[in-house]
Structure 1
Amino acid sequence: MAPDPDEPTDTTRRRYLASAGALAGSALLAGCQGSGDTTTATTTDSTTGGTTDAGTGTTDANQPYSVSMAPVGEVGFEEPPTNVMVYSLLYADMAVAYGYGDAVNSLGFSTNAAGSLHAYYDQLDGVSFDQEGLTQLNEGGSGITVDKEVFYDLNSDLHLIDPALVVSFDGWDIDDVEEIRDNVAPWFGNVLSRRNTEPPEAYADSYEYYTLWEISEKVAQVFQAQERYDALAAIHDDVLSTIQSNLPPESERPTVASVIFIDGTFYPSKFNADGFAHAHTRPMQASGAFAESDVSYQSSYDYEQMLEVDPDVIVNRYSYSYYDVTSVRQTLEEDEVGSRLSAVENDRVYAGGNPLQGPVMNLFQLEMTAKQLYPDVFGEWPGYDGGPYPEIPEEEQLFDRDEVAAIMNGDL
Structure 2
Amino acid sequence: MAGDPTDYEAPTRREYVKYSGAVVGGGLLAGCTGQSNNESTPTETEADESTTTATPVEGSYTVSMAPAGEVTFDSVPETWATYYPGYADMGVALGLSDGLTGVGQPAEYYTEFHNAVPGVSVDSGSLTALWADGIDKEIFYELDNDVHLISPENMKQSFEWTEDDLAEITENVGPFIGNRIYRRSDGWHNHRYYTMYDAFEKVAQMFQKEDQYQTFKQFHDEFIADIQSQLPAKSDRPSVLLTYAGSEEPETFSPYRLDDKGTNKKQWHDLGVSDALANTSVKQLSAENRSELDYENMLTIDPDVLLIRGHQEKSPEEFEETVLSYMSDHPVASELMAVQNEDVYRGGLLWVGPIQNLFLTEQAAKQVYPDQFGDVTSDRQLFDRERVGEIIR
Fold match (TM-score > 0.5): yes
Provide the rounded CA distance (Å) in 1 between the counterparts of 2:218 and 2:338: 35
2:29·2:163 contact (CA, 8 Å) conserved in 1? no
Shifted more, 96-105 versus 310-319: the winner is: 310-319
Displacement of 1:335 after TM fit? 1.1
Match of 2:73 among 56, 77, 80: 77
Displacement of 1:255 after TM fit? 1.2
Displacement of 1:43 after TM fit? 6.4
Gap change, CA 1:265 and 1:322, over 3 Å in 2:
farther
Gap change, CA 1:403 and 1:130, over 3 Å in 2:
same
CA deviations over 1:333-369 (Å, ceiling 9, x no partner) = 2211112222122221111211311011111111111
* 1:196 and 2:191 aligned: no
The corresponding residue for 2:127 is: 134
Unmatched segments (≥5 aa) in structure 2: 1-22, 40-47
Match of 1:159 among 136, 148, 154: 148
The corresponding residue for 1:348 is: 343
Gap change, CA 1:347 and 1:219, over 3 Å in 2:
same
Provide the rounded CA distance (Å) in 2 between the counterparts of 1:67 and 1:365: 29
The corresponding residue for 2:304 is: 312
* 1:181 and 2:170 aligned: yes
Q: Which amino acid aligns with 1:240?
A: I
The corresponding residue for 1:378 is: 373
The corresponding residue for 1:278 is: 265
Match of 1:91 among 78, 87, 93: 87
2:50·2:201 contact (CA, 8 Å) conserved in 1? no
1:316·1:325 contact (CA, 8 Å) conserved in 2? no
Gap change, CA 1:52 and 1:91, over 3 Å in 2:
closer
* 1:295 and 2:287 aligned: no
Q: TM-score, normalised by structure 2?
A: 0.81
The corresponding residue for 2:251 is: 264
The corresponding residue for 2:334 is: 339
Gap change, CA 1:136 and 1:59, over 3 Å in 2:
same
2:185·2:284 contact (CA, 8 Å) conserved in 1? no
Provide the rounded CA distance (Å) in 2 between the counterparts of 1:244 and 1:407: 23
Displacement of 1:182 after TM fit? 1.9
The corresponding residue for 1:3 is: none
Provide the rounded CA distance (Å) in 1 between the counterparts of 2:63 and 2:324: 46
How many percent identity over aligned positions?
37
Match of 2:203 among 203, 219, 236: 219
Gap change, CA 1:318 and 1:341, over 3 Å in 2:
same
Displacement of 1:220 after TM fit? 0.8
Gap change, CA 1:224 and 1:353, over 3 Å in 2:
same
Q: Which amino acid aligns with 1:98?
A: L
Provide the rounded CA distance (Å) in 1 between the counterparts of 2:239 and 2:159: 39
Displacement of 1:52 after TM fit? 4.9
Gap change, CA 1:312 and 1:250, over 3 Å in 2:
same
Gap change, CA 1:174 and 1:267, over 3 Å in 2:
same
* 1:398 and 2:382 aligned: yes
Displacement of 1:102 after TM fit? 1.4
Gap change, CA 1:251 and 1:52, over 3 Å in 2:
closer
Q: Which amino acid aligns with 1:269?
A: Y
Q: Which amino acid aligns with 1:195?
A: R
Q: Give the SS at the match of 2:345.
A: strand
Displacement of 1:177 after TM fit? 1.8
Match of 1:330 among 320, 325, 328: 325
1:28·1:72 contact (CA, 8 Å) conserved in 2? no
2:95·2:392 contact (CA, 8 Å) conserved in 1? yes
Gap change, CA 1:41 and 1:270, over 3 Å in 2:
closer
Gap change, CA 1:318 and 1:272, over 3 Å in 2:
farther
Unmatched segments (≥5 aa) in structure 1: 1-22, 45-50, 384-391
Provide the rounded CA distance (Å) in 1 between the counterparts of 2:339 and 2:50: 48
1:68·1:74 contact (CA, 8 Å) conserved in 2? yes
1:29·1:71 contact (CA, 8 Å) conserved in 2? no
Displacement of 1:281 after TM fit? 1.0
Displacement of 1:121 after TM fit? 1.8
Provide the rounded CA distance (Å) in 2 between the counterparts of 1:79 and 1:322: 42
Aligned pairs, number = 350
Displacement of 1:35 after TM fit? 5.6
Q: Which amino acid aligns with 1:360?
A: I
Displacement of 1:275 after TM fit? 2.4
Q: Which amino acid aligns with 1:302?
A: D
Displacement of 1:268 after TM fit? 1.1
Q: Which amino acid aligns with 2:144?
A: N
1:375·1:381 contact (CA, 8 Å) conserved in 2? yes
Displacement of 1:285 after TM fit? 1.7
Q: Give the SS at the match of 2:293.
A: coil
Q: Which amino acid aligns with 1:90?
A: G
Q: Give the SS at the match of 1:76.
A: strand
